[in-house]
């Protein structure tokens, strides 16, 4: 995992240095609340699992309607931990029981993609975008009890995953953004920690942004 972390940092630094020669035009910053979209079902979504999405973005126009974009996000959310049925003891109702209800997890996606723009109203335009890349998932320590009431720990770890980011929104005066963002994290073995059912839960955020023109 250390190798993945080094590669991720080197790619990020390379992009920053590569774009350093450009003017501020094309850069924007975005922030807003995020929430877990468990099982793609709003009925099972809790505000207690809410968090924050902070995003930095660079866009370069390809033509009047299409932009190339690079997104660097920080996502922080509380994941609800559920008791896990143990396969060996499922007929006896035995479970692995976490010692806390919510687990604060950070995700740091770096994605590259394209956005499509269309006139909306006067000085406003509608946009939609799709981007793919990598994500660093930072998982704190998880303590739990097994079926025999023995105490166990998953140590703090950083995992590398793939990320799909979808956005729709509106830009006003080529400066102010409001966007709905949907993140899907997938891939990357997380060993037995997958049992806690948070490793591939989608996240949704609503952000406002400002472009440096």
Question: Which pLDDT score is estimated for 88?
Answer: 40
Q: Are strands 27-36 and 84-85 parallel, antiparallel or unpaired?
A: unpaired
Q: Which of 63, 64, 47, 57 is closest to 167 using CA atoms?
A: 57
CB atoms within 10 A of CB 108: 18
- pLDDT tens for 132-154 read 999 988 888 877 776 677 777 77
How many angstroms separate the CA atoms of 152 and 4, rounded? 27
- Radius of gyration of the chain from its Cα atoms, rounded to whole angstroms: 20
CB atoms within 10 A of CB 92: 9
Q: Check: CB of residue 7 under 8 Å from CB of residue 14.
A: no
Question: Which pLDDT score is estimated for 180?
Answer: 96
Question: Which pLDDT score is estimated for 23?
Answer: 41
Q: Check: CB of residue 102 under 8 Å from CB of residue 51.
A: no
The residue behind tokens 């660097």 is 72
Q: Which two tokens stand for residue 62?
A: 């390809």
Question: Which pLDDT score is estimated for 85?
Answer: 47
Q: Which fold has domain 2-212?
A: Porin (2.40.160)
Q: Check: CB of residue 71 under 8 Å from CB of residue 46.
A: no
How many angstroms separate the CA atoms of 20 and 126, rounded? 28
How many angstroms separate the CA atoms of 35 and 59, rounded? 26
Q: Which of 28, 18, 49, 51 is closest to 167 using CA atoms?
A: 28
Question: Which pLDDT score is estimated for 22?
Answer: 45
Is pTM beyond 0.85? Reply is no
pLDDT tens series, the chain, 213 aa: 445 445 555 555 555 445 444 444 588 999 999 988 765 444 455 666 778 999 999 998 888 889 999 999 999 988 776 655 444 434 444 456 666 777 788 899 999 999 999 988 888 899 999 999 999 888 888 777 766 777 777 777 788 889 999 999 999 988 899 999 999 988 765 555 655 556 667 889 999 999 987
Q: Which of 182, 174, 184, 188 is closest to 207 using CA atoms?
A: 182
The order of strands in the sheet holding 142-145 is 84-85, 95-98, 142-145, 151-154
Question: Which pLDDT score is estimated for 68?
Answer: 92
Question: Which pLDDT score is estimated for 79?
Answer: 79
């Amino acid at each position: 995992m250390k190798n993945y972390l080094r590669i991720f940092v080197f790619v990020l630094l390379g992009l920053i240095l590569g774009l350093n020669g450009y003017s501020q035009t094309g850069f924007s910053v975005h922030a807003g609340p995020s929430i877990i979209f468990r099982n793609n079902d709003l009925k099972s979504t809790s505000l207690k699992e809410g968090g924050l999405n902070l995003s930095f973005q660079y866009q370069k126009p390809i033509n009047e309607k299409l932009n190339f974009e690079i997104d660097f996000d920080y996502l922080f959310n509380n994941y609800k931990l559920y008791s896990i049925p143990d396969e060996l003891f499922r007929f006896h109702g035995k479970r692995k029981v976490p010692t806390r209800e919510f687990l604060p997890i950070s995700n740091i996606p770096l994605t590259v993609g394209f956005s499509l723009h269309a006139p909306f109203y006067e000085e406003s335009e509608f946009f939609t975008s799709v981007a793919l890349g990598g994500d660093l998932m930072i998982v704190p320590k998880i303590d739990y009890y097994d079926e025999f009431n023995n105490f166990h720990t998953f140590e703090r770890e950083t995992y590398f995953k793939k990320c799909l980011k979808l956005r729709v929104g509106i830009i006003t005066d080529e400066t102010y953004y409001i966007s709905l963002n949907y993140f899907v994290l997938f891939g990357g073995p997380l060993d037995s920690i997958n049992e806690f059912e948070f490793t591939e839960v989608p996240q949704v955020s609503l952000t406002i942004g400002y472009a440096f023109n």
